[in-house]
Structure 1
Amino acid sequence: MPLVRSYVRSDGTRVRAHARWAPGAKRETMIFGAVALAVVGLGNSNVSAGEDGTPQPKSTVQYPIRFDHAPAARAPQPRPTVSYPIRWQR
């Protein structure tokens, strides 16, 4: 949306700063709104999986996840990736 700064017309009329729609923007916004409304309307339908009596999978995950049988390992220590010393400028 372009912003029009304040200016003075050739007949001396002062025009305040205002914003206006770009040409064709209202039509494009209306089309976008209609499509968005259709998507929301179709997305909120009452159809859901499993209404025909088929069993639905149940979650077997228990949170928080703990590794009870894993050995207590220390965090890996960082290793240098080069075998030569890096000299920094002082």
Structure 2
Amino acid sequence: MPWVRPYVRSDGTPVRGHSRWAPGAKRETMIFGVVALAVVGLGNSNVSAGAEGAPPPHSTVQYPIQFDSAPAAPEPRPTVSYPIRWER
């Protein structure tokens, strides 16, 4: 959109600066909007690309998951051998 700078009309009326649609821009914007609505409308249809009546996939995972080949985690041990005194 072009910007029109402030100016004074020939009768002395001041006109503030404003933006104005370029010639043909309203028509182009309307065409773009119609095409966008058509794409959204067709994109939300219930047409599937797969085979009709195909069963949905099923999960093959068994919970809880256990890793038999992984070594057991070691027990946590303190990192200091002296008692830590807390202020009271």
Give the TM-score band, short-chain normalised. 0.5 to 0.7
Q: How many residues align?
A: 65
Structure 1 stretches of 4+ with a deviation exceeding 6 A read none
Question: 2:50 is aligned with what amino acid?
Answer: G
How has the CA–CA distance of structure 1 residues 4 and 20 changed in structure 2, closer, same or farther, with 3 Å as cutoff?
Answer: same
**Root-mean-square deviation (CA), in Å?**
2.6
Alpha-carbon deviations, 1:37-71, whole Å to 9, x = none? 0000000001123361235677x9xxxxxxxxxxx
Unaligned runs of 5+ residues in structure 1 are 61-90
TM-score (norm 2): 0.58
- Tell me what 1:32 maps to: 32
Residue 33 of structure 1, CA deviation = 0.3
Using the alignment, how far apart are the partners of 1:44 and 1:11 within structure 2?
56
Unaligned runs of 5+ residues in structure 2 are 61-88
> Rg larger in 1 or in 2?
2
Contact 1:50 1:56 survives alignment (8 Å):
no
Alpha-carbon deviations, 1:16-36, whole Å to 9, x = none? 111110000000000000000
- Secondary structure in 2 aligned to 1:49? coil
